């Protein structure tokens, strides 16, 4: 039997739209839930109360230690229980739309997440940077960004929505899949990864978006990522970067306890107002005071200050001197970032000799001031270059994509 709709009738259009939204609604995921939330979810589908704690422990191990993405692979859980879980929940990964590999081994993934509510599918970018003895994953916290930093490509993309804890963790778990970083997985041939141990040793919340404008979901994701019985990343190997959302900085140290990075980029309020407009709301005096009060701050747990080098804008010796004065007394490392060009920008990277003079002055003043080696420039994966392809999709392309997703739902 076939069903047809006369789309000239408003009620028919409304009914079709409602049906489409229903088909697009995914099963809730267990990824990104706290143990307490997972227990409540299991109880909600009829798992006996006396079993809930045990089942949560089993699921936690399979999800975050073994890295499985299918309930059928959870071999110490009964077949009936696996069937019940699969009926009500999902544990899958984000769709990988594209994977690009730079000449220097940097990898950039374009991940697609399904619609939420009345929204549409969204895409974000995640970057893996292999180095000697470590592999760093740069994770996004939002689709787009509200901050409109003038030198940042991501800042030219308007905010679409926050990512959930599931979607933040999904980037890490999908990257570990692709790199063979879970047990019983193989590393892709020719992949540049650390020779021993983990392939993803560090994560940085430096991708698309402002993490502290999505505090609760970022907090939940990072606490799961650092859980010793799961993904087990050391909090000293997790860095959260903010452009200066001052009210949430203290909470970050107190409630999450990870390393802090500040996107500074200027040492005068007038210039920072232009480069990093959030400075108009939280000027340098307030930002630096919040840094001095960061919980756990010490020489062993320094704050990283990110400083992009823009030719004839913020790269003078006077800027270097003011930077040292501004940060006096704060245990800090200063990352100097050669500006990474992107189409349409009016900025240029500082001359290399000027960057080295700047670095020498800061270093001689007692601050480590490494010059960050640009990585992944050829695939627009370097710092400040991320911008999801979804925001360049034409409306007709987006509608076609959504139609394909509707067609794939509800089939046996």
- Residues known to be catalytic: 125, 383
User: Is 265 a known ligand-binding residue?
Assistant: yes
User: Is 264 a known ligand-binding residue?
Assistant: yes
- Assigned token pair, 201: 């040793």
- Please state whether beta strands 107-113 and 122-131 pair in parallel, antiparallel, or not at all (unpaired): antiparallel
User: Is 88 a known ligand-binding residue?
Assistant: no
CA angle, residues 302, 304, 306, in degrees to nearest 5? 170
DSSP 185-229: --PPTT----SSS-S--EEEE-SSS-GGGGHHHHHHHHHHHT-TT
User: Is 145 a known ligand-binding residue?
Assistant: yes
Nearest to 181 by CA among 143, 229, 134: 134
User: Is 298 a known ligand-binding residue?
Assistant: no
DSSP 15-79: HHHHHHHHHH-PPPBSTT--HHHHHHHHHHTT--HHHHHHHHHHHHHIIIII---SGGG-TTS-H
DSSP 263-304: E---SSHHHHHHHSGGGGTS-HHHHHHHHHT-TT-BTTBPEE
Compute the distance between CA of residue 136 and CA of residue 124 in angstroms, rounded to an integer.
17
Dihedral sign, Cα of residue 182, residue 205, residue 300, residue 320: positive
User: Is 210 a known ligand-binding residue?
Assistant: yes
User: Is 61 a known ligand-binding residue?
Assistant: no
Q: Tell the burial category of 185 from Cβ atoms under 10 Å away from its Cβ (0-12, 13-18, 19+).
A: middle
Q: Which residue has the tokens 């860095």?
A: 239
Q: Going by C-beta distance under 8 Å and a sequence separation of 6 or more, which residues neighbour residue 212?
A: 218, 240, 242, 245, 248, 249, 252
User: Is 167 a known ligand-binding residue?
Assistant: no
Q: Which residue has the tokens 């900085």?
A: 249
User: Is 102 a known ligand-binding residue?
Assistant: no
User: Is 4 a known ligand-binding residue?
Assistant: no
CA 174 to chain centroid, in Å, comes to 12
β-bridge mates for residue 135, sequence order: 130
Which residues carry a binding-site annotation for [4Fe-4S] cluster?
A: 145, 149, 152
Which residues carry a binding-site annotation for S-adenosyl-L-methionine?
A: 209-210, 241, 263-265, 340
Which residues carry a binding-site annotation?
A: 145, 149, 152, 209-210, 241, 263-265, 340
């Amino acid at each position: 039997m076939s069903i047809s709709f006369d789309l000239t009738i408003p009620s028919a259009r409304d009914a079709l739209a409602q049906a489409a939204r229903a088909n697009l609604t995914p099963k809730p995921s267990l990824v990104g839930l706290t143990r307490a939330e997972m227990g409540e979810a299991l109880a909600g589908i009829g798992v006996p109360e006396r079993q809930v704690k045990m089942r949560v422990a089993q699921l936690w191990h399979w999800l975050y230690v073994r890295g499985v993405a299918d309930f059928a692979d959870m071999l110490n859980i009964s077949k009936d229980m696996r069937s019940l879980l699969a009926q009500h929940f999902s544990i899958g990964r984000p769709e990988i739309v594209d994977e690009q590999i730079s000449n220097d081994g940097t990898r950039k993934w374009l991940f697609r997440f399904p619609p939420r509510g009345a929204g549409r599918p969204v895409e974000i970018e995640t970057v893996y940077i292999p180095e000697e003895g470590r592999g760093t994953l740069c994770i996004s916290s939002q689709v787009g960004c509200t901050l409109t930093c003038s030198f940042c490509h991501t800042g030219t993309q308007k905010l679409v929505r926050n990512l959930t804890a599931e979607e933040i963790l999904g980037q890490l778990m999908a990257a570990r899949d692709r790199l063979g970083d879970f047990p019983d997985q193989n590393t892709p041939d020719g992949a540049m990864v650390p020779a021993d141990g983990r392939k993803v040793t560090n994560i940085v919340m430096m991708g698309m978006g402002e993490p502290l404008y999505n505090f609760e979901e970022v907090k939940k994701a990072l606490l799961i990522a650092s859980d010793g019985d799961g993904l087990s990343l050391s909090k000293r190997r997790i860095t959260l970067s903010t452009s200066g959302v001052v009210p949430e900085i203290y909470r970050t140290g107190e409630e999450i306890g990870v390393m802090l990075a500040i996107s500074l980029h200027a040492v005068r309020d007038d210039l920072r107002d232009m480069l990093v407009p959030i400075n108009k709301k939280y000027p340098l005096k307030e930002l630096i005071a919040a840094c001095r009060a960061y919980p756990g701050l010490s020489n062993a747990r320094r704050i990283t200050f990110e400083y992009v080098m823009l030719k004839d804008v913020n790269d003078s010796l006077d800027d270097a001197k003011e930077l040292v004065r501004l940060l006096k007394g704060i245990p800090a490392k200063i990352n100097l970032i050669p500006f990474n060009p992107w189409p349409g920008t009016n900025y240029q990277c500082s001359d290399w000799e000027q960057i080295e003079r700047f670095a020498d002055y800061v270093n001689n003043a007692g601050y480590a001031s490494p010059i960050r080696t640009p990585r992944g420039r050829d695939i627009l994966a370097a710092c400040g270059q991320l911008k999801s392809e979804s925001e360049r999709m034409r409306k007709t392309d987006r509608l076609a994509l959504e139609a394909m997703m509707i067609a794939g739902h509800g089939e046996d």
